[in-house]
Amino acid sequence: MSLTRLRAIASHLTHAPHSARAASMTIHNDNAGCCSQPAASSTYTPRGIYVPFAGFKRVYITGPKESSIAIISIYDIFGFKPQTQLGADMLADALHARVVMPDFFEPSEAWDVSRHPPQTDEDKAAFQKFFAGPAKPDEAVVKLERVVKALKEEGVKKVGAYGLCWGGKVAVLAGAKEGSVLDAIATAHPAMLKADDTLSLDIPFAIYVSKDEPQEEYNRIVKILQSKPFADKVDYDYYPTMFHGWAGARANLDDPENKRLFDEVYRRMGSYFGKILKA
């Protein structure tokens, strides 16, 4: 991480006190960017396939099945979208890994793009209810662990996971569990994530935030990661020109700057996962 980026973080982030343990039951989403930034359209055609897997009716899978490493992609609130699948395809290519993106919201649906950003009181209430129902992080962790088990049964040796938006919360909760089934986790523009969620992490973590995330939390996360015995394996960066969702369904890949940093963050994530999963 460059000195310039570190100085940028230092100038933008402030400290905030928190309790000593992670609050894994957090379900209220107060991230302003997540609540206001709409999804974007894309003409990208995903290269993977949809198959039933690990108890899910539909899982997007890309990359070589014979790979000994796998990465679980936890999509954002809009579910399967071309931009999100492009990121998965990029990681599969970079690592020659199998990347699996389960439909975590089964048997419900992803958040309806036509209702976003929520304008009416009814839609705003429904949006918060969504995070206590289909997108409840703790329940998604159980589903994620089911996927890891299925991958290991097929011969996969190491498994990483990354999450976008609410998926970042899920990835961290799964990674912070005692005896986590994961080998490494990452997130871009996470929602609902608290620094205390990372206190019990025993596996490497990469975090990439935009100007829309609650930056005081990420200042604390950086300090926590720097104190870990695996500090030399973590990665983090602050993208001051990007918005919540720039690496997911909200990515405007027709915008040169968004496309450049979209590509950069997935290259960086690929390098991070490669150093751990291929070791």
262, 234 contact by CB (below 8 A): no
pLDDT tens digits, 115-152? 778 889 998 998 899 889 999 999 999 999 999 999 99
The residues pairing with 205 across neighbouring beta strands, listed in sequence order, are 185
Query: Apex CA 178: angle with CA 174 and CA 180, to 5°?
Result: 45
pTM for the full model? 0.85
User: Would you list the domain boundaries of the chain?
Assistant: 3-277
Q: Over 50: is that where the pLDDT of 26 sits? A: no
Q: How far is residue 150's CA from residue 51's CA, in Å, rounded to a whole number?
A: 14
For the ranges 39-53, 139-153, 235-249, 261-275, the lowest mean pLDDT is seen at: 39-53
pLDDT tens digits, 198-218? 999 999 999 999 999 999 999
The winner for highest mean pLDDT among 38-42, 116-120, 195-199 is 195-199
Closest to 223 in 3D by CA, of 31, 29, 16: 16
CATH architecture of residue range(s) 3-277: 3-Layer(aba) Sandwich (3.40)
Q: How far is residue 155's CA from residue 137's CA, in Å, rounded to a whole number?
A: 27
